[in-house]
Structure formats: structure tokens, C-alpha cells
Amino acid sequence: MSARSGPWGALAVLAAVHLAALGAGFLAPYAPTEQNRTLPYAPPTGLRFVDAEGRFHLRPFVYRLVERQGAGGAYDEDRSRPYPVRFFVRGAPDALGASAGGVRLFGVDESARIFLLGTDGFGRDQLSRLLHGAQISLFAGLMAATLSLGVGWLLGTLAGFYGRWIDAALMRSAELFLALPWLYLLFAVRAVLPLSVSPGQAFLLLVLVIGLVDWARPARLFRGVVLSARERNYVLAARGFGASDLYLIRRHIAPQTLGLLLTQAALLVPQYILAEVTLSFLGLGVSEPVPSWGNMLAALQRYHVLASYWWMWAPGLALVPVFLAYFALSEALQVRAGAES
């Protein structure tokens, strides 16, 4: 995905990922909170085309997993009966995560399960949790970036445009925000919050915290752009003609910041996704049973999971293409902004 191809390749990848997240209710074979207590840490179900007798099936199928007695955690496939993968199945409706009408892209008949990415310690399908968790992680990043850029743009533009004491006040508070050890602050905040915070409230709180803590960095960048834009000839000319501040900002200054806005957006979103993942990993974000890539990765803190169950790494691996796409997008936008200025 080279910068020369413009942002379209990266945008396509990002669109695909976000559409997958939005369509989690349809794409995921199971509800993210559905526990299968007889199948903890089951490995990914193998999709097969050739059965035990050597016959080829056009439609892929799976075998049922059975816990191996006495081996404490190993599974065997029950080869007596193949369960073909069916498409557009009507899943059991569930209060959390059922799509409209309860139709799911694929599934298998009852008593067998299709775990394309294995299960976690409660026997919950990792693929379903990955898709639903993407909603939290990806959109928390997007919303936090919007908040942070919005506040940062506003305050940076004001500081840069008006200068003098407004500039001084805003920039000193920006420095304060940059200096705070925000992680410890968050632990402190979490301790004083009331015990029960619903998952929805936790999500909003997360977005607010990540977005508001980090407005200072974009603010300083916007201030710099506005400072230089303010001194341009056409701005001085317009002012000479009696243009109001609002008109100047709207018509002349703001468009100068657009390029920066877009590139910053493309850089900040992955950082905020990572911030959400980190906070949920540490227990400060959404809590059980709602999945987020962060709290799914938290399971890896235990040595036996890290050493034995490689499919639990899936959320971490899923971050890689998302980040690569955002960085490629940012680079493409920077090249464009550079070409235009």
C-alpha cells in the first residue's frame, strides 16, 4: 500500500474492518457472552473438506469437540458425525448482540460448535468476542479522537488567533495536562467512582477520559498553524477591510488547519485504540462480560494462557492491520497536504 496509491487502499481496509465490527451481530456465529462450560480453552475448530472415510465434501464441515478424560484440558474430535457448516442460519436470539431477526452468516447444527478462533476460559467463542469487541475498541478510538481533536482544535485556534493572555493561559494548562501522570490519575478516579458503572457508562467514561486527557498535543500543533496563518497577507488584508474574527477564522484560518486535522486524526485514532486496549487490559475500561480487545488480552497476563493457548493472541494480532491501515492513511494524507501547500 504505497503512498502513491493515495489513501484509497488504506481507507478500503479500514472500511472493511469497521463494517465487520458494525455487522458483528450478523457475522459472529454466537453471542459474545454465551458460555460453554464444557469447552474452556478449546482450540480453533478445524474446517474440513475430507472426512474420516476419505470422502470429499464440497461444503466444509466440522467435528464435535469432546473433552479428553483425565487429561485436564485436551480435546478430541468426535469423528462419528460430520456437522456441515450452514450459511444464513437463524441463531438463538439473545438479549446482547442478536442481530435483527436473529440471522447469522454461518453456524452449525446443535450440539456441535464452530469456534474459528477457539474459546476462552469460559468457553466463549473468541471470534464472536473479537467482532463485538471491535465495536468497543475501534469506536472508542474514533470517538476519543474526535473529542480530543475537537477540543484541541478549538483551544489551539483560539490560543493562536488571539495570542496574549488567552494564549498564555491555554498553553500553560496544556502543559499541565501533558505533565500529569495520567495512568495513576485514572486508577485514582476509578477508586472513587461508584461501584456499579454499567457497560454503556463505562464506555462513555473511557472515551471522555482518553479524549479529554490528551487534547494538549493537537492543541499545540493547531496553535502553531494558526499563528503562522494569522500573519498571511490575505488575512491582514481581510482584517483591513473590516472582517470580523469569526469570519477570518471560518474563511481563512480554518481551511489551513484542515490538512493537519486529517493527518492528526489518522495518527491519533490508533493511539486511542491502544489507550482503550491498555485501560481495559488494566481493568479500568469495560468490564466483564462485555468484550473489548483490551479485556480479552488481559487473559494473557496469566502464564498458563500465554504458554498454552495461542489463539488468545487474536485481538493483539487484529490490531496490526488496523494500525498499518491508519498509518498508511496518515502518510498518504501528509503527502497530499504537502503537495497542495
Q: Which residues are at the interface with other proteins (CB under 8 A)?
A: 33, 35, 37-38, 40, 72-73, 95, 121-123, 191, 195-196, 198, 283, 287-289, 302-305, 307-308
CB 38 → other proteins: shortest distance, Å?
Answer: 7
> Which cell numbers in the block locate residue 71?
487429561
Residue 198 burial (10 A CB sphere; 0-12, 13-18, 19+): exposed
Shortest Å distance, C-beta 37 to other proteins: 4
Closest separation in Å from C-beta 65 to other proteins: 14
Are 159 and 219 within 8 A, CB to CB? yes
Cβ proximity to other proteins: between 33 and 330 the closer is 33
Residue 132's nearest CA partner among 214, 199, 73, 69 is 199
Residue 144 and residue 275 in contact, taking contact as beta carbons nearer than 8 Å: yes
At its nearest, how many Å lie between other proteins and the CB of residue 120? 10
Shortest distance, CB of residue 195 to other proteins, whole angstroms? 5
End-to-end CA distance of the chain: 24
Residue 332 has φ and ψ, to the nearest 5°, of -60, -40
Nearer residue to other proteins within complex by CB, 287 or 334 = 287
Following DSSP, what letter does each residue of 86-148 receive, concatenated?
A: EEEEEPPP-TTTPPGGGEEEEE--TT----TT-B-TT--BHHHHHHHHHHHHHHHHHHHHHHH
Cell numbers 474563511: residue: 251
Residue placing its CB nearer to other proteins in the complex, 137 or 295 = 295
- For other proteins, give the closer residue by CB, 91 or 211: 91
C-beta of 250: minimal distance to other proteins in Å?
46
Characterize the bridge pairing of strands 103-107 and 86-90: antiparallel
Q: Which is nearer to other proteins, 35 or 278 (CB)?
A: 35
Our CB check for other proteins shows the closer of 84 and 123 to be: 123
Peptide bond preceding 289 in cis form (omega within 30 of 0): yes
